Each structure stands twice: as C-alpha cells, then as structure tokens.
C-alpha cells in the first residue's frame, strides 16, 4: 500500500549500499579508479578529482541506490540460503539464462544514457580487476548481482564523466 507520508530514506539507502559494497571489498575509490581507466583513453587530461566527484554523485542517486539495494540483498539472501526454490538454486549457481542481474545493472547503467549502456557491455565482457574476482569467487557465496551492480555503477560514472567532457 502506498503511503503518501513515507519519506524516502536517502541517507539510510546510501549507507546501506556503501556498507554492503565495503563488506565485499569494494570502495568508492575503486569505482572511481575503474571509471578513470575506462575514460582516460578518450580524455587524456582527465582529472581523477572529476571522476571522484562523479562517483559521489552517482552513488547518491535514488535510481542507483534502489537497484543496487535489491541486487545486493538478493545476493545476501541467496548466500544465507533464504530464497525459495527454484530461485535459490538459480541465483546461487549464477545461471547464465537468469538475466535479472543484468537487467538490474542496465537500470543503473542507463541513468546517463547510451554511453553507460555501452560501457556496461564492455565491462561485462571484459570482466576486469575486482569484477573478475567477484565473478570467480565461488565458495558458497552468491556474487550473482554484485559484479553487475559494481560494473553498472562504474559504467554510470564513466558516462557522467564523458558527458561532462563533451
Ligand atoms: Mg552476474
């Protein structure tokens, strides 16, 4: 039921996402660094400070926080064995035909338009650095959503930086 008096908890949502990413070893600085590496090719004079500012802005957007929270919570519930079957097995085994993780990622990558989408596609194929590590970690932990969430946030930051430089 929609409660018109409900006030969206911006700070709590931001803290939730930052804390959950941090518990998996992902910091805003790492996100900035990945976005910087992607955009430096196109903008040789790019300042890291600009990318840090874009990262902060992206991480405060409700669309980003909402999609990130849903994905990160599904990973947690799957890791704790709390989803109902067959969803539990599908998420836990990161089934290639599931696609909801990529759907959530596209919701995030899309906020700054098509540049975010193309960057996400590149990151998803390339699976660099920390995203590769998350994708490969398999010891009873679900990282089905977090790798896409992080890749999508990096893509959104890249797109924001690209738009600001054009
Ligand atoms: Mg995934």
Give distance in angstroms: CA of 51 to centre of ligand 1: 25
Residue 69 lies inside a defined structural domain of this protein: yes
In 3D space, the residue among 96, 87, 100, 106 whose CA is nearest the CA of residue 135 turns out to be 96
Give distance in angstroms: CA of 102 to centre of ligand 1: 6
Residue 30 lies inside a defined structural domain of this protein: yes
Residue 35 lies inside a defined structural domain of this protein: yes
Q: Given a cut of 80, is residue 129 above it in pLDDT?
A: no
Instruction: Count CB neighbours of 34 within 10 A.
Output: 25
Q: Which of 11-15, 119-123, 132-136 has the lowest mean pLDDT?
A: 132-136
Distance CA 164, CA 34 (A): 17
Residue 67 lies inside a defined structural domain of this protein: yes
Residue 5 lies inside a defined structural domain of this protein: no
Domain containing residue 106: CATH number: 1.10.3760.10
Residue 123: per-residue pLDDT: 87
Q: Given a cut of 90, is residue 147 above it in pLDDT?
A: yes
Residue 92: per-residue pLDDT: 96
Task: Report yes or no: 117 and 36 within 8 Å, Cβ to Cβ.
Answer: no
Give distance in angstroms: CA of 5 to centre of ligand 1: 36
Q: 54: domain range?
A: 10-164
Region 117-145 average pLDDT: 85
Region 87-106 average pLDDT: 96
Q: Given a cut of 80, is residue 128 above it in pLDDT?
A: no
Total domains in the fold of the chain: 1
Q: Given a cut of 90, is residue 166 above it in pLDDT?
A: no
Residue 46 Rama label (left phi>0; alpha psi -120 to 50; beta): beta
pLDDT, tens only, 22-63: 999 999 999 999 999 999 999 999 999 999 999 999 999 999
Give distance in angstroms: CA of 19 to centre of ligand 1: 20
Task: Report yes or no: 134 and 20 within 8 Å, Cβ to Cβ.
Answer: no
Residue 125: per-residue pLDDT: 84
Residue 4 lies inside a defined structural domain of this protein: no
Residue 90 lies inside a defined structural domain of this protein: yes
Residue 107: per-residue pLDDT: 96
Region 108-125 average pLDDT: 90
Task: Report yes or no: 72 and 26 within 8 Å, Cβ to Cβ.
Answer: no
Give distance in angstroms: CA of 95 to centre of ligand 1: 9
Residues 6+ apart with CB under 8 A from 84: none
Q: Given a cut of 90, is residue 149 above it in pLDDT?
A: yes
Tokens 């194929």 locate to 125
Q: Given a cut of 80, is residue 152 above it in pLDDT?
A: yes
Its pTM stands at 0.94
Residue 2 lies inside a defined structural domain of this protein: no
């Amino acid at each position: 039921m929609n409660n018109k008096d409900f006030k969206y908890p911006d700070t709590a949502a931001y803290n939730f996402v930052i804390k959950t990413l941090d518990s998996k070893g992902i910091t805003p600085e790492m996100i900035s660094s990945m976005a910087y590496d992607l955009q430096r090719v196109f903008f040789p004079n790019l300042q890291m400070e600009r990318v840090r500012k874009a990262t902060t802005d992206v991480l405060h957007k409700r669309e980003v926080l909402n999609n990130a929270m849903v994905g990160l919570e599904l990973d947690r519930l799957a890791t704790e064995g709390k989803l109902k079957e067959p969803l539990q097995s599908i998420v836990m085994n990161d089934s290639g035909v599931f696609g909801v993780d990529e759907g959530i990622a596209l919701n995030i990558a899309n906020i700054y338009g098509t540049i975010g989408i193309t960057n996400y596609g590149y990151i998803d194929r390339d699976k660099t650095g920390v995203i590769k590590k998350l994708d490969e970690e398999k010891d009873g932990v679900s990282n089905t959503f977090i790798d896409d969430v992080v890749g999508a946030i990096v893509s959104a930051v890249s797109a924001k930086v690209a738009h600001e430089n054009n």
